[in-house]
């Protein structure tokens, strides 16, 4: 079994020195997500500027406990999303989800998901997919909670 496809240097870099970590103010929404099978947890705060799809992520802060994959995923995601608009993020999140559910058949487009391609090795390990996607689900839940897109 090829462990190096899972534990890349990029994963460990983010695990050791996570970007944008820690909970900050101000924030428009805060969510807490748990992976009940392993007990991994993330608290994620989202601060937006502007309205609707053009609202921009002014800050995304988080406190994550979990495996290297889940912590690296939160770090990479925060770095990827901060400064982008909700509209810009939508295809990034969609691509991430698609690749993670492709059972390792897709490697992911670095132009779209940046460092997160380093996480796509986990797609070959079905029980690790949730580790990677937990932070992304938390972002999406936080976005809904801000109601910047209205009630939907």
Partner 1 sequence: MDEQTTRGYDVEAVRADFPILQRRLDEDTPLIYLDSGATSQRPRQVIDAEVDFLTRDNAAVKRGAHRLAEAATDAYEGARETIARFIGAPSAEELVFTKNATEALNLVAYSLGQGEASTPEHLRVGPGDEILVTEMEHHANLVPWQELARRTGATLRWIPLADDFTLDLTDLDSLLTERTKVLAVSHQSNVLGTLTPIRRLAEAAHAVGALVVLDACQSVPHMPIDLATLGVDFAAFSGHKMLGPTGIGVLWGRAELLAAMPPFLTGGSMIEVVTMEGTTFAEPPARFEAGTPMVSQAVGLAAACDYLGALGMENVAAHERALTTRAIEGLRELPGVRVIGPDAGPDRAGAVAFDLAGRHPHDVGQVLDSRGVEVRVGHHCAWPLHRRYGLHGTTRASFSVYTTEAEVDALVEGMGAVIDFFARFDR
- Name the minimum Å distance from CB 14 to partner 1: 11
Span interacting with partner 1, options 12-20, 78-86, 105-113, 143-151, rule CB under 8 A: 12-20
Give the integer Cα–Cα distance in Å for 51 and 48.
Answer: 8
User: 16 with 10: CB under 8 angstroms?
Assistant: no
Q: Which of 3, 22, 25, 26 binds partner 1 (CB under 8 A)?
A: 3
N residues, the chain = 152
Give the integer Cα–Cα distance in Å for 72 and 11.
Answer: 5
Residue list 43-72, contact with partner 1 (CB under 8 A): 65-69
- Name the minimum Å distance from CB 99 to partner 1: 19
Closer to partner 1 by CB, 33 or 128: give it: 128
- Name the minimum Å distance from CB 72 to partner 1: 11
Q: Which long-range contacts (CB under 8 A, 24 or more apart) does 103-107 make?
A: none
Cα separation of the two ends of the chain: 44
Binding mask 69-108 for partner 1 (x = CB under 8 A): x---------------------------------------
Rg of the chain, C-alpha, whole Å: 15
């Amino acid at each position: 079994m090829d462990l190096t496809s899972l534990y890349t240097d990029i994963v460990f870099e983010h695990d050791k020195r996570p970007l944008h970590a820690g909970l900050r103010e101000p924030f428009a929404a805060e969510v807490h997500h748990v992976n009940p099978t392993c007990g991994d947890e993330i608290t994620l705060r989202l601060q937006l500027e502007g309205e609707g799809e053009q609202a921009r992520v002014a800050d995304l802060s988080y406190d994550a406990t979990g495996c290297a994959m889940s912590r690296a995923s939160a770090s990479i995601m925060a770095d990827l999303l901060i400064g982008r608009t909700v509209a810009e993020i939508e295809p990034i999140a969609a691509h991430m989800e698609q690749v993670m559910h492709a059972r390792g058949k897709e490697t992911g487009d670095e132009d779209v998901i940046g460092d997160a391609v380093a996480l796509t090795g986990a797609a070959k390990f079905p029980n690790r997919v949730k580790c990677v996607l937990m932070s992304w689900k938390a972002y999406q839940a936080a976005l809904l909670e801000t109601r910047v897109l209205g009630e939907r």
